[in-house]
Homo-oligomer: A and B are copies of this chain.
């Protein structure tokens, strides 16, 4: 891993434990620090009850002159009223000042239980501990990625190195977390994407939004858009302080999108109790919005998700799910493939070997649905997980 992973220049990382959940020894506080002032763009949850860190960051991005991203896991600081807003600002100040910057040069992310106030004495300790441990290695990066996880079973990190048309070689690296309360748009997911290229704030915002739309906004575990979803893109220009333009910017945007396509499905693939990652391709929808609605309705359907958990090729549930989402289409022109097997063609069942299809689901973690509508040219790819007994166990006893 170490060899293939590209850490962008000019960043330092730390992940520490400060016992945000009492008696826990899990890493739960992280810092990403850029020594040079960086541009940061952000895309956030559309949940009205958004967390205080979302409100804090949204007011400040896109913008320039940032040095720090501070993240805690354990307490989401959402549905926490005015005290929550005060604490988000305070967390930024603690983290910024611990590394010689200010609160205004710091952005914050929080994930965990909703409706509980941040333990600010712990956050202060976390900021000091993390500041003392900042480093530039892959292991430091990995610790920061670990500190943002909650019920995740593994860290989710990716990187890219790319030589731009201007001859400069830049790096992008991303870390994200998320395993439940995952529903577009975005999820209880946090992501920090960092690069050593330089970007104008408006350009950073535009390309981040486009990348998120095709990736983090096309994943779901149970369709619950969380209060806290945040994706930040930080660009510090350590390789070249001239903001990218034209062709260079286009290549950067493609590289970022490509990286996010690898990073985003890691979330439903690590969904709580998941035994299958389901990739849903919708073809021939009337428009993109309809394509997304069709895919998303299938992705969130408990009957579809339990069927896949049980390796049951119950394609009727998939077709039925598309019919209930409000997108108009001609039912006699719909076809469906599961794992490449044609099960339904132009509104009519196709004879197939149930055992063969069931085995192909049972023996592969990756499951593919392809839905064909013949209504237009729009297509979309969407990722979701199956629904298992373990998911229910994990979520029936989260806070008590």
**Complex A-B, nearest 4 residue pairs according to Cβ-Cβ distance, in ascending order:** A114-B316, A310-B396, A49-B323, A306-B395
What is the minimal beta-carbon distance from A50 to any residue of chain B, in angstroms? Answer: 7
Interchain nearest-CB distance for A222 vs B (Å) = 4
Contact with B along A176-216 (1 / 0, CB 8 A): 00001101000000000000000000000000000000000
CA distance A387 to B309 in the complex (A): 15
Interface residues of A (CB under 8 A from B): 46-50, 76, 78-82, 113-116, 180-181, 183, 222-227, 300-303, 306-307, 309-317, 319-324, 328-329, 331-332, 334, 344, 347-349, 354, 358, 387-389, 391-393, 395-400
Apart from the given pairs A227-B320, A307-B399, A354-B400, 6 other A-B contacts in the complex at a CB distance below 8 Å: A79-B349, A115-B344, A183-B324, A307-B398, A310-B397, A354-B399
Complex-state Cα separation, A395 to B224, whole angstroms: 21
Residue of B nearest to A354 (CB): B400
In the complex, are the beta carbons of A344 and B79 less than 8 A apart?
yes
Contacts of A183 in B (CB 8 A): 324
B309 contacts A392, C-beta separation under 8 Å: yes
Is there an interface contact between A314 and B180, defined as CB atoms closer than 8 Å? no
Residue of B nearest to A357 (CB): B400
Residues of chain B with a CB closer than 8 A to A344's CB: 79, 115
Q: Please tell me how many copies of the chain the complex holds.
A: 2
Nearest-CB residue, chain B, relative to A347: B81
Interface centre among A80, A300, A320, A322 (most CB of B within 10 A): A320
- Given A49-B319, A78-B316, A332-B81, answer yes or no on A223-B302 (Cβ-Cβ < 8 Å): yes
Contact among B303, B393, B395 with A303 in the assembled complex (CB-CB below 8 Å): B395
A319 & B114 in contact (Cβ 8 Å cutoff): yes
Q: How far is the CB of A346 from chain B (nearest CB, A)?
A: 8
CB distance from A289 to the nearest CB of B (A): 13
Contact of A312 among B324, B328, B399 (CB under 8 A): B399
Whether A312 contacts B397 in the complex (CB less than 8 A), given A224-B302, A320-B78, A321-B224, comes out as yes
Q: With CB as the reference atom, state the residue of chain B lying closest to A311.
A: B400
A53 shortest CB reach to chain B, Å:
15
Q: Please judge, given known A-B contacts A48-B328, A302-B222, A312-B398, whether A393 and B389 are in contact too, CB under 8 Å.
A: yes
Contact of A224 among B309, B317, B348, B354 (CB under 8 A): B317
Q: Residue among A183, A301, A392 with the most chain B CB within 10 A?
A: A392
